[in-house]
Amino acid sequence: MNSLTVTIKNDTTEIPRLAGLIEQFGEKNELPQKVVFYVNLALDEVLTNVISYGYEDDQQHDITVDLTLEERVLTTLIWDDGEPFNPIIAQEPDVELPIDERPVGGLGLLLVKRMMDQVEYRRIGERNCLSLRKKLET
Amino acid sequence: MNVTERNEGNVVVLQLQGRLDGNTAKDFEDKLVAAIDKGKHHVALDLSNLDYVSSAGLRVMLIGAKRIKATGGKFVLTSMHPNVKEVFDISGFTGIFDITSTLDQALGSFPK
């Protein structure tokens, strides 16, 4: 199996359930433990942002996560039907600042950008699509 | 996630077990802030049983560090799993915390 699609509700308690499914996918495809860890953490950060800030109503929404492994590249797509929101243009925190001056927040997307090789956002119709690419070392 | 608390002399040791993420960070923050507000200004965070941390967890660590610094106390993180250490490295947090490999080293670093 080299692809996985999971639909979750817009509820952060779904994130550990998703992580379990991705770990299984990782085992079946012999992905390095580090890659699975990075993908799960990146998904946690993105999904937490989407769930917390992406919707203006308090309805239940579906979020779809697609993983595809092809020629040593793992591509993760996150589709949601929330408000238009491009996380890539959010500001990076200054990690050189001493502890007193550092604002508390903004870290999640920094982690995503540093753990993934490529992060791309597109708005397609009524949905946001965030793509995360990770190359597997040969 | 479980947070257990015990005293080692003038240091309070908080041990985290499980996953520190958006769902569990608030509970950890409440316990950490409660300990500091009770007068525990020397805090060692034993992370030997923590296998996952997200930015939500890092935020609570930062909040704890700022509060303890304001009291003149000391905050040391210890016994990180490699994945957890990596998150600290990637985020630049390694440089701003006191981090030791073992709890003994951590306890030895506090003023008597």
Q: What is the pLDDT of residue A89?
A: 67
Q: Quote the DSSP letter at residue B83.
A: H
Identify the CA nearest to A95 among candidates B100, B92, B94, B48. B92
pLDDT band of residue A1 (cuts 50, 70, 90) is low
pLDDT, tens digit, 9 for 90 and up, residues B84-112: 999 999 999 999 999 999 999 999 999 98
Burial grade of A25 (CB within 10 A; 0-12, 13-18, 19 or more)? buried
Could you give the ipTM of this predicted complex? 0.92
- Residue A92: closest CA among chain B residues belongs to which residue? B91
Inform me whether the C-beta atom of residue B55 falls under 8 Å from chain A C-beta atoms: yes
* Cβ contacts of B13 within 8 Å, gap of 6 or more: B5, B6, B7, B43, B44, B45, B46, B103, B107
Inform me whether the C-beta atom of residue A114 falls under 8 Å from chain B C-beta atoms: yes
Mean per-residue pLDDT, A111-135: 96
Q: Helix, strand or coil for residue B79?
A: coil
From CA B13, how far away is CA B31, in angstroms rounded?
A: 12
Inform me whether the C-beta atom of residue B65 falls under 8 Å from chain A C-beta atoms: yes
Q: For a pLDDT cut of 90, what percent of chain A falls above it?
A: 71
- When the pLDDT of each residue in chain B is averaged and rounded to a whole number, the result is 95
The pair of three-digit structure tokens given for residue A91, joined into one six-digit string: 């500001």
**Surface of A (7-36) touching B: CB under 8 A:** 12-13, 15-16, 34
Identify the CA nearest to B45 among candidates B85, B87, B74, B16. B16
From CA B105, how far away is CA A28, in angstroms rounded?
A: 40
pLDDT band of residue B28 (cuts 50, 70, 90) is very high
Identify the CA nearest to A99 among candidates B54, B94, B71. B94
From CA B96, how far away is CA A40, in angstroms rounded?
A: 25
Q: Taking CA A60 as the corner, what is the angle to CA A55 and CA A63, rounded to the nearest 5 degrees?
A: 75
pLDDT, tens digit, 9 for 90 and up, residues A24-52: 999 999 999 999 999 999 999 999 988 98
- Residue B89: closest CA among chain A residues belongs to which residue? A111
